Amino acid sequence: MNRFITTVVAGLMLAGPGHAGVTEDDLKNDQSITTQIVTNGMGRHLQRYSPLDTLNKDNVKNLVPAWAFSLGGEKQRGQETQPLIYDGVMYITGSYSRVYAIDVQSGKELWQYDARLPEGILPCCDVINRGGAIYGDTFYFGTLDARIVALDLKTGDVKWRKKIADYKAGYSYTAAPLIVNGLVITGNSGGEFGIVGEVQARDAETGEMVWTRPVIEGHMGTLNGKESTMTGELNATWPGDMWKTGGGATWLGGSYDVETDTLVFGAGNPAPWNSHLRNAGTPVDGNAGDNLYAASRIGIDPTTGDIKWHYQTTPREGWDYDGVNEVVAYTDRSGNKRYATADRNGFFYVLNREDGEFVSATPFVKDITWAEGIDENGRPIYNEGNRPGNPAAAADGKKGEVTFSSPSFLGGKNWMPMAFSQNTGNFYVPSNEWGMDIWNEPITYKKGAAYLGAGFTIKPNYDDHIGSLKAIDPDTGDLKWEFKNDAPLWAGVMTTAGGLVFTGTPEGRFIAFDDETGEELWSFQTGSGIVGQPVTWEQDGEQYISIISGWGGAVPLWGGEVAKKVNYLNQGGLLWTFKLPKALAMAN
Ligand code: CA
């Protein structure tokens, strides 16, 4: 208890006049300091769990709007940001690489930054941004032309601006950057263009590169401007030169586990999608066609950029099951320190925190077709008949055998972050029940062109719902409750000590559920679809909640029959802030 009080007092002192801005301690203690939110994930463990319990199951019905903020303009595409809150100001990012600083009491804009984007940017999956980072008196965020920008927290003036990679080759940037020990750490986007996934660490003060770590085997990392170590072993799991354009985009960013001093990043699908081109001659012995470290979670040393461990969820991946989904650190009911991650491929994995070793995997969506399960070593038990066929084996050599595979390439779960509740010990997973017809085609790499070698059509698996918010016991994989939604879920989830689970729907409803029963306790219609990430904090003794509304993201662009089903939904760009007024906090 004493330690907790000390932490809070230290936090308050730092937030006082003349403070030096957000410190490493602020980042480390973000989950317990309830008056601010300075990390993506509401704490470095990415639990998205708030210890606030002012708002609870009894009084959530009294939650009312405090203010709303329009992102303005005609740039109303998918809004996926997670707000940050510091020193009375809320910071959000918007579509088309915009940033807004907003007075948290009044909802009044303090400053706005619009990145000037060049012609010819190549974002694969809408012009979204998922949020920024704060360190010292600087706000950091990435842009669709693959740059990282450092802005003055008070004015929005540019301090520095650096190129992550070449947007003309298909690179872009959409994730929230990560701050660790004075470094600003970023991944990259562009996995559908034959790019190479990488993690980069820069000096947060100057923007100078400290280290780089490509995540596809055969590529060299750098440290302080010199070559450091090779990623993996050249051609151990990739044939010929395919590794040079091997994909593995690190597009969802990463997290930092202070207890093991490890960065955890995910790598997307190997490129191209046509898996037969990446493991010619398969079946092969051992792991020769696995295409490391695509479709993997990777533990990285934050000082050197060296890889400490990896766990590949989908070896020789062939369905666009990116391995990027967030890895949440938690302690299980027996006191074991674990990671949990719900993969695009439909399985919910538990890994050991120390070394990333596989512990268990259970399906979190129905009707998985591509694998019978995951064996005791963590390797999929493939259903070989469900691998899309090799076009080279077709009579005309142009189209391989079509399979119906589930989940669809947009995944049992996509980018939208799940939450863990310290109340219940359960995870709350935003998932989707859908499949796809998928087939392979010949393809050759061309800079800046889509590098898929595949065609596809997404289809709902059920008539009455696609979206499914699931409460999952991580110790058993058991489903505790489920909320079904007509449209696919695409928003983040948040839990609170008040026993509440919050998320939003593409139909525009922002909903609070009972964390034990799944009963819907409150909802609010936000006017456009919700694909953003909720947060909660306290201000002058009152509990606030914010969520951005603004339909978009990958579903309307890539969703096949599903996109047609939801094409009536309106776009938007409105940040809603709610509060439980003091007078109503005690009322039932
Ligand atoms: Ca992908």
The catalytic residue among 26, 320, 322, 343 is: 320
Q: How far apart are CA 262 and CA 310, in angstroms?
A: 12
**Cβ(85)–Cβ(101) below 8 Å:** no
Indicate the residue type of 518.
G
Q: How confident is the model at residue 16 (pLDDT cuts 50, 70, 90)?
A: very low
Going by DSSP bridges, is the β-strand pair 509-514/520-525 parallel, antiparallel, or unpaired?
antiparallel
- Give the mean model confidence (pLDDT) for residues 308-317: 97
pLDDT of residue 3: 42
Q: How many CA atoms lie within 13 A of 152 on its CB side?
A: 8
Within a domain: 4: no
Is there a binding annotation on residue 80? Answer: yes
- Annotated binding residue at 414? yes
Q: How many CB atoms lie within 10 A of CB 335?
A: 6
Find the 251 Cα to ligand 1 centroid distance in Å. 9
Residues in CB range of 162: below 8 A, 6 or more apart? 147, 148, 202, 207, 209
Q: State yes or no: pLDDT of 288 exceeds 90.
A: no
Alpha-carbon 138 to chain mean position: 23
Q: What is the CA radius of gyration of the chain?
A: 22
Judge whether 561 lies within some domain: yes
Structure-block tokens of residue 288: 């020769």
Q: What is the dihedral of CA 137, 121, 80, 78, to 10 degrees?
A: 140
Partnered with residue 442 across adjacent β-strands are: none
Confidence of residue 9 (pLDDT cuts 50, 70, 90): very low
* Alpha-carbon gap, residue 89 to 110, rounded angstroms: 8
Q: How confident is the model at residue 93 (pLDDT cuts 50, 70, 90)?
A: very high
CA angle 255, 260, 266 (to 5 degrees): 35
The total number of structural domains that make up the chain: 1
| Ligand 1 centroid, distance to 331 Cα (angstroms) | 30
Domain assignment of residue 181, yes or no: yes
pLDDT at 76: 82
More confident residue, 369 or 588: 369
Taking Cα atoms as reference points, which of 192, 124, 189 lies closest to residue 450? 192
- Residues 6+ positions from 487 with CB-CB distance below 8 Å: 466, 467, 505, 506, 507, 529, 555, 565, 566, 569
Domain membership flag for residue 14: no
What is the Cα–Cα distance from 73 to 530, expressed in whole angstroms?
19
366 in any annotated domain:
yes
What is the per-residue pLDDT for 285? 52
Structural domain including 390 reads 24-329+337-584
The fraction of the chain above a pLDDT of 70, given in percent, is 95
How far does residue 411's CA lie from ligand 1's centre (Å)?
A: 10
Q: Is 320 a catalytic residue?
A: yes
Whether the pLDDT of residue 284 is over 50: the answer is no
More confident residue, 566 or 6: 566
- β-bridge partners, 501: 495, 513
Q: How far is the CA of 122 from the centre of ligand 1 (A)?
A: 14
- What average pLDDT does this structure show over 262-291? 84
Mean per-residue pLDDT of the chain? 94
pLDDT at 45 over 90: yes
Average pLDDT over residues 245-252: 98
Residue 445 pLDDT more than 90?
Answer: yes
492-516 pLDDT tens trace: 999 999 999 999 999 999 999 999 9
User: Which amino acid would we find at residue 156?
Assistant: G
Q: Is residue 11 part of a domain?
A: no
Please say if the pLDDT value at position 307 is more than 90. Answer: yes
The label of the residue with tokens 């704060």 reads 134
**Is 192 within any annotated ligand binding site?**
yes
Tell me what pLDDT residue 75 has.
75
Q: What is the pLDDT of residues 374-411, one digit of tens each?
A: 999 999 999 999 999 999 999 999 999 999 999 999 99
Q: Was 269 annotated as part of a binding site?
A: yes
C-alpha 356 – ligand 1 centre gap (Å)? 23
For 107-155, the pLDDT digits (tens) are 999 999 999 999 999 998 899 999 999 999 999 999 999 999 999 999 9
What is the distance in A from the centroid of ligand 1 to the CA of 51?
35
**pLDDT at residue 587, as a whole number:** 61
> What's the rounded mean pLDDT across residues 2-22?
51
367 burial (CB, 10 Å; 0-12 / 13-18 / 19+) is: middle
The answer to whether residue 2 sits within a structural domain is: no
Structure tokens at 353: 């925190």
217-231, 250-264, 560-574: the lowest-pLDDT one: 560-574
CATH code: domain of residue 193: 2.140.10.10
Q: Is residue 10 part of a domain?
A: no
| Global pTM exceeds 0.85 | yes
Cα–Cα dist 416/312, whole Å: 20
User: What residue has token string 């003794």?
Assistant: 541
- pLDDT, average across residues 441-458: 97
**pLDDT above 50 (res 18):** no
**Separation CA 428–CA 472 (nearest Å):** 6
User: Above 70 in pLDDT, residue 8?
Assistant: no
